[in-house]
Chain A
């Protein structure tokens, strides 16, 4: 008996230590040919029509001439390049690469641009500061295009601000990132205030009156979920279930709670790796209502991961209109250049990554008018503050907090396992 007690006690202590040590990983243009919707009152997403694709002629000459004998200046970035949600980040990094190559080829800068993307697997907020320090400590780094997810951005914004280094994100959408008083922080994409409002607008349009909102307890998910909840209340939509659940595999408890609450629609504020599980398990338990998520779930393969049947009519919002649908000349040129370099269509946030990089290059160009030595961190930040660079997704012009002034939220729908854009939420 004593032996049992002693070992059991020891086991309990070990158990508690294991639990404490365990941590969940987390992370987060003018359009042609809009889709649309007929007015609907029964909360049914199948009325949404995807926009028509613009045929693209690919392949340009992708040669890349090394600029000679100019001082190197580094544009750095970091984000989840190899983790479970890397599909959300890689396209924007690829697009930055395209922009930087093009700038080097144009040859009109007094400096040679070097692109340095670092991997922060799964966008971990606890790892991000050490990456930030690497960039800060290297004097040739004049701009950091990042962070990828909101968590890692929140963890490093202060560091970059104190170092006077431009910290310019194309993808981190948590609202309060621009409210921290970081002097060097800029955001080239609409934030979750807009995204949260957008999903509620979509639900309103579809006539959904009872919804459930679930977040994954990450900086991104919680922020987005809170905005959506507040917007729902304003719109008079009944939030019958509000849950937070850390990323896991077995979502039985959540699914049962959702089915028991019987909402017409569920919005999951979190990332693709978990959303695929949540959506699939919801459908398997017989939930037939609308299943929606935000930009964190918008990866190309989400439809296949959830399963073709289960994923039908799943909705996704994103402050990232599909750039390959744009009939703007510059946008099409970008799409061609991206495809030539990477052998795939530009994915989520590619257009935004391209614009963020180019706005930065534009700032560097302006600084460079005073010679290579004038391209300093301070100058780059100052020029960014005055920026009105016209990109392919929007004009990069910022308010006093560094938030870009324009930026629409687009709605996407999964049809036959493929993510298709419906159009800007505003014009549904």
Chain B
């Protein structure tokens, strides 16, 4: 068993789960919209990008000129920035639905029209931001420092841990991103399964026409679906912008594709599948980078997708009743 799969594996988990958690949050948007509309919302990556932009603008406005004076102040600013980022994501997603998809629904347009509209919306949004903010990276002012909070090689119980575990180092951002993703998933899951609108969403996902006949307000359901996905993408945007300290007009492209891959991997249309797919993809990528070299990271991610679909076309959790 090569090192990269045995002794290095626990070490790679922290980074993999952290990256994967971001994928999962974005993947949720793809999966929900697909479940309800059978549409791949390619513009969702730009909703994420707008989340990073919202975070950047807010943090930029709130951080005093000389930098933050304490980590607490930084944390407060970050928390405050979450609000506009998340709201911007939600608004963008809802606006997207109204402008890019609803007119097509009204006219009973063929599938291809939705796809083209999605790609068009994606290009429109990213290029608008490019014209407004310029094409280069913009750096966020520092708020909370990202650093190691748990180094398993340096604790009082290190001696009893196996060597591979001793290498594990966990950053505060790994924990934060993972916890937020899990909480978000649980919240959405509960919402879909317990609330009235959630029931409506499940109904529309099963059979839109019948749901309409049973009195479900289809437009409202669809709007809420986009809203939820957008809110989560906005949150993912904030976490991503804080983790890496930058934003840019095309920053959503790669995470968007990875998240979409994760959604398909987990079973598109399935919420838990989005979480599973995201986390698995993040871990796979990181482990594969260790085994084959970092430049193979993206290739392996897509290769895994192809393999899973080959043997299990509906994705890992795909044939379970989900939304």
Binding site for B on A (CB under 8 A): 1, 3-5, 7-8, 10-12, 14-15, 18-19, 22, 82-84, 121-122, 217, 243-246, 248-250, 252-257, 259-260, 273, 276-277, 280-281, 284-286, 305, 307
CB distance from B241 to the nearest CB of A (A): 10
The reply to whether the CB of B148 lies closer than 8 angstroms to some CB of chain A is yes
List B contacts of A15 (CB < 8 A): 257, 260-261, 302
Task: In the A-B complex, list the 5 residue pairs whose CB atoms are closest, starting with the nearest.
Answer: A253-B289, A84-B136, A252-B15, A286-B148, A284-B146
Give A7 to B254 CA distance when docked, in angstroms: 21
Within 8 A of A (CB), among B297-323: 297, 302, 306, 309, 313-314, 318
Chosen A-B contacts, 10 in total, with CB atoms closer than 8 Å, are A3-B38, A12-B306, A82-B134, A245-B295, A246-B295, A249-B246, A253-B294, A254-B294, A286-B151, A307-B142
A250 and B19 form a contact (CB under 8 A): yes
Option from A22, A217, A277 in Cβ contact (under 8 Å) with B246: A277
List A contacts of B261 (CB < 8 A): 15
Q: Considering the complex, give the chain B residue whose CB is closest to the CB of A4.
A: B314
New contact pairs (17) apart from A249-B246, A307-B245, CB-CB < 8 Å = A1-B314, A4-B314, A15-B261, A84-B136, A217-B295, A243-B294, A244-B294, A245-B294, A249-B240, A249-B251, A249-B254, A253-B290, A255-B15, A260-B11, A277-B244, A281-B244, A284-B173
Give A305 to B142 CA distance when docked, in angstroms: 10
Binding site for A on B (CB under 8 A): 8, 11-12, 15-16, 18-19, 38, 40, 42, 111, 115, 119, 134-137, 139, 142, 145-148, 151, 167, 169, 171, 173, 240, 244-246, 248, 251, 253-255, 257, 260-261, 264, 268, 285-286, 289-290, 293-295, 297, 302, 306, 309, 313-314, 318
List A contacts of B314 (CB < 8 A): 1, 4
Give A400 to B310 CA distance when docked, in angstroms: 58
Q: Considering the complex, give the chain A residue whose CB is closest to the CB of B172.
A: A284
User: Are A285 and B169 CB-contacts (below 8 A) given A3-B38, A5-B313?
Assistant: yes
B15 and A256 form a contact (CB under 8 A): yes
Give A301 to B151 CA distance when docked, in angstroms: 32
CB distance from B20 to the nearest CB of A (A): 10
Give A10 to B112 CA distance when docked, in angstroms: 10
User: Are A285 and B244 CB-contacts (below 8 A) given A252-B286, A253-B289?
Assistant: no
CB distance from B283 to the nearest CB of A (A): 11
Q: Considering the complex, give the chain A residue whose CB is closest to the CB of B290.
A: A257
A280 and B245 form a contact (CB under 8 A): yes
Option from B139, B169, B173 in Cβ contact (under 8 Å) with A259: B169
CB distance from A178 to the nearest CB of B (A): 28
Q: Considering the complex, give the chain B residue whose CB is closest to the CB of A121.
A: B135
A257 and B136 form a contact (CB under 8 A): no
List A contacts of B16 (CB < 8 A): 252
Q: Considering the complex, give the chain A residue whose CB is closest to the CB of B4.
A: A260
Q: Considering the complex, give the chain B residue whose CB is closest to the CB of A307.
A: B142
List B contacts of A1 (CB < 8 A): 314
CB distance from B165 to the nearest CB of A (A): 14
Give A19 to B306 CA distance when docked, in angstroms: 14
User: Are A8 and B264 CB-contacts (below 8 A) given A245-B295, A260-B11?
Assistant: yes
CB distance from A414 to the nearest CB of B (A): 16
CB distance from B242 to the nearest CB of A (A): 12
Option from B38, B139, B253 in Cβ contact (under 8 Å) with A22: B253
Give A281 to B145 CA distance when docked, in angstroms: 11
Option from B12, B115, B246 in Cβ contact (under 8 Å) with A14: B115
Q: Considering the complex, give the chain B residue whose CB is closest to the CB of A272.
A: B137
A83 and B11 form a contact (CB under 8 A): no
List A contacts of B240 (CB < 8 A): 249-250
User: Are A11 and B40 CB-contacts (below 8 A) given A19-B302, A243-B295, A256-B11?
Assistant: yes
List A contacts of B306 (CB < 8 A): 12
Give A22 to B151 CA distance when docked, in angstroms: 38
List A contacts of B137 (CB < 8 A): 84, 273
Give A80 to B77 CA distance when docked, in angstroms: 35
B290 and A12 form a contact (CB under 8 A): no
B309 and A8 form a contact (CB under 8 A): yes
List A contacts of B257 (CB < 8 A): 15, 18-19
